[in-house]
């Protein structure tokens, strides 16, 4: 999987300057050496524990068999590494995950899953509904009361606006009803063509018309009509359930990530809009880049200064 999917993805132009493949670990050391040579990693390991203790990598992606993920992920977290990992679905592993997080003073604020509700056939619709319900179930088991889903990635040029609205709502209604039954609110993130179309997103919310459906507002996802993020926040108002804070500046090569408060966004106006909406949820900082730890530290310091305690 790593050679087929993950390593080639890291070699894409948009990631080359943001992500460095530092190390490869495989119980078959020749396979690790081959991958390292092919994709430019400078460290080769065949012992996972030794790698976690000694590697200079800041984050680990676990692509080992799922039954190993809890133990390996726990070891990596305790070693101060960021970890990308799938959570095993057994009750024992879920309980141990919650225990580990509690010991670190952490809790799961929500579970997120990439979804696409622009499904125009029944089989695709039912598959997306089942996937989303499984995300709700995982939220419950991890003690989270929110699940974030994506509305749809691309606008369908050969479909009318009403057809797209109907398709998304047909998926969402049973998912939102299931979330309400389980005590989990559904948050649509403003990702993709659909998510950046604020007018269409409002129509989705109003058509489903449920207090269990709202928005995860990602501040770097510009509105497709040119509205600034403070205006978008005012439009969504009390329907904002969660925040993903991200700041950028425009460069000749495209948007470049900055610490919150150091980019181009008018945070004073955004926070004022959130205050007017009565927002009292999490302020989640979502950043990327090679200096992510520095960006997070600066973002935290800024938020501690400007947000009411």
Q: How many domains is the chain partitioned into structurally?
A: 2
Task: pLDDT band for 1, please (50, 70, 90 cuts).
Answer: very low
Do 260 and 124 fall into the same domain? yes
Question: Any idea what the Cα angle at residue 223 is, between residues 220 and 228, rounded to 5°?
Answer: 75
Listed range (114-128, 260-274, 280-294) with the worst mean pLDDT = 280-294
Both 127 and 41 in one domain: the answer is no
Whether residues 42 and 141 share a domain: the answer is no
Residue 85 scores a pLDDT above 80: no
Q: For position 231, which CATH number holds?
A: 3.20.20.150
pLDDT at 299 over 80: yes
pTM of the entire predicted model = 0.75
95-127: pLDDT as tens digits: 888 888 899 898 888 899 889 999 998 988 998
Task: Give the tens place of pLDDT for each residue, 176-198.
Answer: 999 999 999 999 999 888 999 99
Ramachandran class of 85: left when φ > 0, alpha when ψ lies in -120 to 50, beta otherwise: beta
Pair 286, 295: CB distance under 8 Å: no
Co-location of 173 and 117 in the same domain = yes
Q: What are the start-end ranges of the H helices in the chain? A: 7-10, 13-16, 29-39, 48-54, 69-78, 91-103, 122-141, 161-182, 192-196, 198-208, 229-236, 267-277, 292-306
Compute CA 217 distance to the chain's CA centroid, rounded to the nearest angstrom.
11
């Amino acid at each position: 999987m790593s050679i087929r999917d993950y390593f080639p993805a890291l070699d894409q132009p948009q990631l080359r300057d943001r992500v460095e493949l530092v190390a490869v670990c495989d119980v078959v050391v020749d396979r690790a050496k081959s991958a390292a040579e092919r994709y430019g990693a400078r460290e080769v390991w065949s012992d996972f524990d030794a790698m976690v203790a000694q590697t200079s990598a800041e984050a680990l992606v676990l692509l080992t068999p799922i039954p190993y993920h809890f133990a390996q992920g726990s070891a990596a977290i305790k070693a101060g590494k960021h970890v990308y990992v799938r959570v095993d679905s057994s009750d024992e592993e879920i309980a141990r995950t919650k225990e580990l997080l509690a010991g670190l003073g952490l809790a799961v604020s929500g579970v997120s899953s990439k979804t696409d509700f622009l499904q125009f056939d029944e089989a695709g619709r039912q598959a997306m509904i089942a996937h989303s319900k499984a995300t709700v179930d995982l939220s419950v088991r991890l003690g989270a009361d929110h699940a974030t889903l994506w509305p749809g990635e691309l606008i369908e040029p050969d479909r009318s606006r009403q057809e797209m609205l109907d398709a998304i709502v047909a998926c969402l209604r049973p998912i939102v009803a299931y979330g309400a039954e389980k005590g989990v609110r559904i948050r649509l993130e403003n990702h993709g063509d659909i998510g950046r179309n604020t007018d269409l997103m409002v129509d989705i919310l109003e058509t489903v018309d449920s207090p269990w459906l709202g928005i995860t507002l990602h501040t770097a996802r510009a509105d497709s009509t040119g509205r600034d993020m403070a205006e978008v926040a005012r439009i969504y108002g009390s329907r904002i359930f969660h925040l993903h804070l991200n700041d950028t500046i425009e460069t000749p090569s495209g948007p470049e990530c900055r610490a919150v408060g150091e980019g181009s966004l008018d945070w004073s106006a955004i926070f004022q809009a959130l205050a007017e909406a009565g927002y009292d949820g999490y302020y989640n900082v979502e950043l990327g880049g090679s200096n992510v730890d520095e960006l997070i530290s600066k973002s935290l310091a800024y938020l501690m200064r400007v947000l009411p305690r």
